[in-house]
Amino acid sequence: MTEDKDRNETPQGQAAEERGDYVTHAKSIGSWLFSLDHKRIGILYAVTVAIAFLLGGVFALLVRAELLSPGEDFLSAQSYNQMFSLHGIVMVFGFIIPAIPGFLGNFLLPLHLGAKDVAFPRLNLASYYLYLLGVALILVAMVAGSVDTGWTFYTPYSARTGPSVLFLTMAVFIAGFASIFTGINFIVTVHKMRAPGMTWNRLPLFVWSIYSTSIVQVLATPVLGITVLLLFLERLLHIGIFDPALGGDPILFQHFFWFYSHPAVYIMILPGFGIVSELIATFSRQRIYGYMAIALSSVAIALLGFLVWGHHMFVAGQSVVSSVIFSLITYLIGIPSGIKVFNWIATMYKGSISFKTPMLYALSFLVLFTIGGVTGIMVGVLAVDVHLHDTYYVVGHFHYVMVGGTTIALLGGLHYWWPKITGRLYNEAAGRLAALLVFVGLNLTFFTQLVMGSRGMPRRYNDYLPEFTFLHQLSTVGSWIMGAGLFLVAIYLLVSLFRGKKAGANPWGGATLEWTHTGPRPDPHNFHRTPFVTRGPYEFDRIPELVAAHRDETPPDAQQNVHLNQDRT
Amino acid sequence: MTGSFWLPDGASTLSSDIDSLFYFVTWASIILFAGVTAAIAYLAYRYRRRAGAASARVKPSKIVEISWVVLPTILVLVVFNWGFRLFIEQSVAPPNAYEIYARGAMWKWDFEYPTGSVSTNELHVPVDRPVRLVMSSEDVLHSFFVPAFRVKQDVLPDRYSSVWFEATRVDTFQVFCTEYCGAGHSVMLASVITHSQGDFEAWLASAGVDEDTPLPELGAQLYQQQACFACHSLDGTAVIGPSFAGLYGKTETLDDGSTALVDDDYLRESIVDPGAKIVEGYQNVMQPYAGLSDRELSALIAFIREQE
């Protein structure tokens, strides 16, 4: 903080020129790989997460291609099982858990708070390298013989199949620590690093969601660590914990596993909620309807999320009483998610809605997450879940939430903050086309899975009865359309890196600090002086140049007299 | 395909109740979804960005906010209660249920009847009478799923789980394994064959006794029934175990480097005690098939001998 005071005395413009922004101020490879700057660490995450997403996506396309017709086509049963296992493991542990907190969370949290960095920058870098080591170990396990247990590692199968399960459990164990460290770091940052005037009810909703996610990460991940460690010890030392052949209990493993993995579903979706709140507010140019309801429902979801794991086990052999209780609590957690959707929709009321690419993703999210939510209610119904459990209905539901929810939100966030991160604009027409392709492909892929599942198609089958052929083919075609959309996104974003039009500091008219208080790309230390916050995150009517811009219909960045980095808020 | 868009035809006493609940939730979901989509479309169009029209401040209304907490809560509690009552019916078998013992193994189902007969991958049951399966697994987790009956229950090693149903018509119904169990998971299929009470008793009396079928033909039946096909192909492709094509009379290299001639004795040992000799390049994963009669063993060997 003293440093900031000193800096206040130098004229801002001159200081900015000397330092350059966070990308240009240092150029060596080492300055990226060992950077303690949260923004650069965010970029490191982005690159790694993108590679994991590409890998997981290729595995998914291979799985869908094999399912194009019944019987073994180009993958043997064994290779198919490895393929869907790797798809699940890479997507869950390599992509969807770290993606939003690691990439956008790192990049934005300090900017949103008006802070210079996260509370523990070194720990932040350590988290990244632990995560990278985890991903590397997954790749080693793949090369060393691969794994065919599914991402759930259910015992006793996982105790008997090939030895590369050991690499994988280690990978998950290590990646888990990355998650815990990031969680601790973010919680402390939100508590201790807020700028003056940044009260709890002025936090952007993205911060609330990342904060809730961090609580879950810190409380739940250790259980996963202990579970995979026990699995590891059982394999290595033959002490009976989960394997009945050694006197262990396979249902105990499922309890432990879901005690982590159900809250983990909220680790995956809560940050997505945060992004959607930002997108809908900015592109509707409207205050979030029921700000506190959305903020606190994230916290409620984070806490209730710990009490519902047993709904994965209605037919696994747990007691009927447990199943009933878990079902009841499962419904209670549906309520805060519903509140959010209704509040987001109400935010559009009397707004001024612009349909730029990020907003298209936000609207897709509302539609797709609603399908994910109502199918979630369906699989929570005790008697009906008996029929639907372990069929493609569950696969469809899960993907509507994880792809239709989290991944769509991530894509929306990526497009929204792309100009802030890279200083460039992407091609808007290509962006809209890709959003449409992804939306259509996603529905074709996963809605057909809902239908074939309730008709009885079990999951994790490399071969199927001829009656399911048509639905499987539709689903596979859907995966191609979605793949084409995502490929298009990759292309125009890469093109924009080199040829994109230079972006202004606030191309969308956002009202959070990263838009109003930093340049096109933020300064290495984020703000030239610590912002003094006097308004909420969505008070668009209190940003003078936005109001002015609206009057004469020019985007705010086109005006030359935008006064950045001034304490006018 | 038979059945509706969403569900296959039901064939148990509970299936129509479960379907009613499924459709209630589906229609409630469709109405909710239509409402949400319509609201989004209307607001998106009505408040699209236009020159000169700024957004107006909206003061959140307490009544609106409370209503969308309370109404969904009531709706889900109704659904919970309905699902709960049906679940209790599903979980508690009627006391007069006919009990059959079911055993899952990689990758087949054995069903043992009170008379002592055993059938593999074919479960024979009477209609209009509750049947309770007491199930366990010989190796890893499996799950017994009959879509037409809307029943499913995981099957665990060293522990009994049970499932009950009362079939309402005479037909053949598909059984799936729905807990992932390795390379043969998707071929771990079986059928439930329902009979009228009289036919069922007749079937039970004749079950397991086969003195007339010629050996190779019986062997071919056993190859299907015992699910040998899950691991042993007839066309020469190596699946999980060696293919039966051209197997007889061949000299195999074993995993300890020694060799063995595939003759009658070798085949018999490989069926009854599969771990004794493992061919190089394969895993020791086969279960011993000790329950086969001498005639059945001879039949399988005769069948394998015919595969060239």
Burial class for A537, CB neighbours closer than 10 Å (0-12, 13-18, 19+): buried
Q: Report yes or no: A167 and A144 within 8 Å, Cβ to Cβ.
A: yes
Q: List CB contacts of A430: < 8 A, sequence separation 6 or more.
A: A488, A491, A492
Tokens 């459709």 belong to: B23
Please report residues of A whose CB lies closer than 8 A to that of B240.
77-78
CA dist list (Å): B146 to A98, A391, B93, B178: 39, 12, 16, 10
Is the pLDDT higher at B56 or at A453? Answer: A453
Percent of chain A with pLDDT over 90: 66
Q: Show pLDDT as tens, one digit a residue, over chain B (308 residues).
A: 477 899 999 999 999 999 999 999 999 999 999 999 999 999 999 999 887 777 788 888 888 888 888 998 999 999 999 999 999 999 999 999 999 999 999 889 999 998 888 888 999 999 999 999 999 999 899 999 999 999 999 999 988 999 999 999 999 999 999 999 988 999 999 999 999 999 998 888 877 666 677 888 888 888 888 888 888 888 888 888 888 888 888 888 888 888 888 888 888 888 888 888 888 888 888 888 877 877 888 888 888 888 87
**Amino acid A10: pLDDT:** 41
Q: Does domain B215-306 have CATH number 1.10.150.120?
A: no
- The partner residue sitting opposite A286, judged by closest CB among B37, B55, B187, is B55
Residue A3 has pLDDT above 90, yes or no: no
Chain B residues in contact with A348 (beta carbon < 8 A): 40, 43-44, 47
Are A265 and A258 contacting, i.e. CB atoms less than 8 angstroms apart? no
**Quick check: B59 contacting A, CB < 8 Å?**
no
Test A455 with B77 for CB contact under 8 angstroms.
no
DSSP states of B53-76? B-----PPPHHHHHHHHHHHHHHH
User: CATH number for the B98-206 domain, one of 2.60.40.420, 3.40.190.10, 3.30.365.10, 2.60.40.1180?
Assistant: 2.60.40.420
Q: A347 lies in a domain?
A: no
In a domain? residue A543 = yes
Assign A559 a pLDDT band (cuts: 50, 70, 90): very low
- CB contacts under 8 A, B 190-209 vs A, are none
| Domains in chain A, number | 1
Q: How many cross-chain Cβ pairs, A to B, lie less than 8 Å apart?
A: 252
- B contact residues 121-160, partner A, Cβ 8 Å cutoff: 139-141, 143, 145, 147-148, 150-154, 156-159
Q: How far is A388 from chain B (nearest CA, A)?
A: 8
Lowest mean pLDDT among A98-107, A122-131, B255-264: B255-264
Residues 6+ apart with CB under 8 A from A4: A116, A527, A529, A530
- pLDDT tens-place string over residues A192-219: 999 999 999 999 999 999 999 999 999 9
Q: Structure tokens of B152?
A: 């499913």
Other CB atoms within a 10 A radius of the CB of residue A24 amount to 11
Residues A437, A183: Cα–Cα separation, whole Å:
34
Query: Measuring CA to CA, which residue among A414, A68, A315 is closest to residue B154?
Result: A315
Q: What is the pLDDT of residue B292?
A: 80
Query: Side by side, which strands form the sheet with B98-105?
Result: B118-120, B108-112, B98-105, B131-137, B161-165
Rounded Cα distance between A123 and A111, Å, is: 18
Listed in order, the ranges of chain B carrying CATH 2.60.40.420 are 98-206
Chain A CB contacts of B21 below 8 Å: 381, 383-384
- B53/A345 Cβ within 8 A: no
A167-176, A420-429, A528-537, A540-549: range with lowest mean pLDDT = A540-549
Please list, in sequence order, all residues whose beta carbon lies within 8 angstroms of the beta carbon of residue B4, skipping any fewer than 6 positions away.
Answer: none
ipTM of the complex model: 0.88
Nearest CB neighbour to B47, from listed A251, A351, A451: A351
Report the percent of chain A where pLDDT is more than 70.
92
Are the beta carbons of B72 and A334 separated by less than 8 Å? yes
Q: For residues B298 and A327, give the distance between their C-alpha atoms in angstroms, rounded to a whole number.
A: 53
Residues, chain B, total? 308
Using alpha carbons only, give the angle A198, A297, A538 rounded to the nearest 5 degrees: 40
Q: Do B180 and A157 touch (CB under 8 A)?
A: yes
* B72–A338 CB contact, under 8 Å: yes
- The helix (run of H) or strand (run of E) holding residue B118 is strand B118-120
- pTM comes to 0.87
Whether pLDDT at A159 is above 50: yes
To the nearest whole Å, the CA of B209 is away from the closest chain A CA by 31
User: Contact A23/A524 with Cβ under 8 angstroms?
Assistant: no
pLDDT for position A342: 93
When pLDDT is cut at 50, 70 and 90, the band that residue A554 belongs to is: very low
- Is the residue at A379 inside a domain? no
Q: Contacts of residue B47 in chain A, CB cutoff 8 Å?
A: 284, 348-353
If you average pLDDT over residues A48-73, what whole number do you get?
Answer: 93
Nearest CA in chain A to B14: A383
What residues have CB less than 8 Å from B20, skipping those under 6 apart? none
Contact (CB<8Å) A455/B1:
yes
CB atoms near residue A196 (< 10 Å): 11
Q: Does A542 touch chain B (CB under 8 A)?
A: no
Fill in the amino acid letter for B227.
Answer: A
Q: What is the pLDDT of residue B295?
A: 82
Domain span at residue A556?
505-569
Q: In the structure, what pLDDT confidence band is assigned to residue A17 with cuts at 50, 70 and 90?
A: low
* pLDDT-based confidence at residue A6 (cuts at 50, 70, 90): very low
Q: Is A491 part of the contact surface with chain B (CB cutoff 8 Å)?
A: no
The H-or-E segment that residue A129 falls in is helix A121-143
In a domain, A565, yes or no: yes
B157, A384: Cβ pair inside 8 Å?
A: no
> Contact A327/B49, CB-based, under 8 Å?
no
The Cα B249–Cα B232 span in angstroms is: 17
Q: Where does CATH 1.10.760.10 sit in chain B? A: 215-306
Task: Give the chain B residue whose CA is nearest to the CA of A248.
Answer: B158
Query: What residue ranges in A338-421 does DSSP mark as E strands?
Result: none
Do the Cβ atoms of A383 and B151 come within 8 Å? no
The C-alpha of B298 sits at a distance from chain A's nearest C-alpha, in angstroms, of 30
Q: What is the pLDDT of residues A300-315, one digit of tens each?
A: 999 888 999 999 999 9
pLDDT of res. B209: 62
Is residue A550 situated within a structural domain? yes
Residue A333 predicted with pLDDT over 90: no
Minimal CA–CA distance to A495: which of A434, A426, A406? A426
What residues of chain A lie within 8 A of the CB of B180, using their CB?
81, 149-150, 154, 157, 459-460
What's the whole-number mean pLDDT along residues A534-541?
88
A454-468, A524-538, A554-568: least confidently modelled range: A554-568
Confirm whether A553 is domain-assigned: yes
Question: Taking 60 as the threshold, does the pLDDT of residue A2 lie above it?
Answer: no
Asked if A381 lies within 8 A of B8 by C-beta distance, the reply is no
For residue B17, the model assigns a pLDDT of: 94
Mean pLDDT of A161-180: 86
Provide the mean pLDDT of chain A: 88
